[in-house]
Amino acid sequence: MSADSPGTISRDEVAHLARLARLAVTDRELDLFAGQLDVILGAVARVGEVARPGSDSGDIPPTSHAVPLVNVFRPDERRPGLTQEQALACAPAAEDGRFRVPQILGEEA
């Protein structure tokens, strides 16, 4: 961050970061990225203020996620399944009440 305006990031600093990362950026992108990085750095600074030991953060509840977690799955409920005959009804081949499949392994099994 520049010394003349603490808390903001300059276009020159963004250009320097882009060179270090070997990114080709236009002048328009430099202005855009400088503004975006300034917002990000401001948010990080605010979090740092709350996380600092001795800070008054009593009114902020501890959280593990930014948004509440909600289970989107339906509850498990037992339902009747297929009978053996129903399961094998459309099988291309069945033998002794099981699906018959081509052998892929040797006789060692």
**12-21 tens-digit pLDDT:** 999 999 999 9
pLDDT tens per residue, range 68-108: 888 889 889 999 999 999 999 999 999 999 999 988 887 66
What are the Cα distances from residue 55, in Å, to 19, 50, 72, 108?
38, 6, 37, 70
Q: Please say whether the structural domain 11-51 has been given the CATH code 3.30.519.
A: no
pTM score > 0.75 for this model? Answer: no
Contacts 24+ apart (CB under 8 A), 57-64: none
